[in-house]
Amino acid sequence: MISHKTILKNTLGLLLFAGSVMSCSKSRLDTVPTTEKMLTNFYKNEAQINEGVNAAYGMLQKEGQYGANYMVFGEIPSDNTFDEVPANDGGNYGQLDLFSAIALNDLVKDTWEAAYIGIQQTNVILNRIDAIEMSAQNRDYLKGEMLFIRALSYFNLVRIFGDVPLVTKETTNVNDYFGQGRTSKAEVYTQIEQDLKAAILLLPKARSLKGKATQGSALALLGKVYLTLHKYDLAIAQLAQVGPLGYKLLTDPARIFDPLFENSEEIIFDVQFASGINGNKEGSRGFQLFSPSGSVGGAKGHNLPTRMVYNSFTAKDRRKAAYLGITSGGVPFTKKLVQTSSTIEDGGSNVVVLRYADVLLMLAECYNETGNPGKGMDLLNEVRERAGLDKVTGLDQNSLRPVIAQERQWEFVGEGSRWFDLIRTGKAIEVMNAYFKVTPGYQGISINEDQLVQPIPQSQVNTDPAIKQNKGYN
């Protein structure tokens, strides 16, 4: 489980950071000649290519990506989670919660940089792998993995920031891309689609090494991309192929996020973490960051479930106790990240990116939107039955929409889905402005379309004038 993620923080991390296409300081630009030479002398054989692939997976562990921030960007702007003390950690999390984010926000900067460093690494491998002697099968698998990670990275970027620079070639001179500016969302989505279609043909149906992308990973992600674009028939075509690959719901929702049962048949793709490995460098701070203040050592109180969402679960819903807890002081917390070590910041909970319950609920939404609410209810009820809830029956298309949305809110609370679900369904402004009116601490806040994306990091705007700031953040 660990071998693919131990490379980044050693020999390659500094090289990739210095060679990132989105370099944002003069000192970083000054290092390019040295890093070019070092990278030129690397990736000369299959073993080195495998290390480079592992480094791309390692980038997904970064706090700017699945180490923390993607759960934050996908939850805290929504009605699912809140920041317990908005001023903590320089106010960076609180800004996202209160819709007061500025272009100097550290989370915005860290996520942008981590994503583009990872993209650069996938581009390096894709550029060089054909010249390396190895079996055709292994070459295909590794290419498929890099295409999947690149597509996943751009999917996250485009949902968070909107238009973003699109780079699909290895960057040997960062100055080559200065002046390019941001690429339209439509073009970025076209590239994501192309990458995932190619990955589906290259990846195996199953892998013995957990944490590696598979054909099911690419199918599920492409289905989610099509759903995001409201291409429901295309989404169905991809998502319907996932179940036959062997994925299924666990019978007990409490086991999904239990480290003792990680990498189960419900998990389609997750980012691997482990405690006590490589000098405590393979864990994440997620548990510490997302625990209520005072509950564990150094707890930050970020991205906590709201009382509203906690109270919305019925007593018979098995997910309430499985997914959420509540302190003696009445503060809810997630159980999807747990303490696995006495070193609190070395959390070993894997972070789930795609799982089969998501496939079922995405299919339910797609069938409903294409005029088949009956099929949609059948799929929805698979998830509800696992949760111990009664089946939904007799709903038409309009009545089923909010039921599916509510089910997604319950099932994926804390996983980084709610905010993007609200945007996809066109409900973000309506739902959040209504939430602000009735929730203490948010009175006076009102959002508009400008705030459906985050600001471009000021460092990027300063470095390249062609990269324009998002509207409303100037």
Q: What is the pLDDT of residues 286-301, one digit of tens each?
A: 999 999 999 998 999 9
pLDDT at residue 20 is higher than 60: no
- Top CATH class, 1-203+426-474: mainly alpha
**Chain centroid to CA 440: how far?**
29
Quote the pLDDT of residue 230: 98
Give pTM, 2 decimals: 0.92
Q: What is the pLDDT of residues 440-470, one digit of tens each?
A: 999 999 999 999 999 999 999 999 999 999 9
Taking alpha carbons only, the member of 232, 248, 237 closest to residue 372 is 232
Quote the pLDDT of residue 412: 98
Query: For residues 85 and 89, what is the distance between their CA atoms, to the nearest angstrom?
Result: 9
Query: For residues 172 and 155, what is the distance between their CA atoms, to the nearest angstrom?
Result: 24
Q: Where in the chain is the domain with CATH 1.25.40.390?
A: 1-203+426-474, 232-272+355-425
Query: For residues 367 and 421, what is the distance between their CA atoms, to the nearest angstrom?
Result: 16
Mean pLDDT score of the chain, rounded to an integer? 91
- Give the right CATH number for 232-272+355-425 from 3.30.365.10, 1.10.510.10, 1.25.40.390, 3.90.190.20: 1.25.40.390
Q: What is the pLDDT of residues 210-232, one digit of tens each?
A: 899 999 999 999 999 999 999 99
Quote the pLDDT of residue 38: 54
Q: What is the pLDDT of residues 50-69, one digit of tens each?
A: 999 999 999 999 999 999 99
Q: What is the pLDDT of residues 245-268, one digit of tens each?
A: 999 999 999 999 999 999 999 999
Task: Return phi, psi of residue 333, to 5°.
Answer: -150, 160
Query: For residues 390 and 251, what is the distance between their CA atoms, to the nearest angstrom?
Result: 16
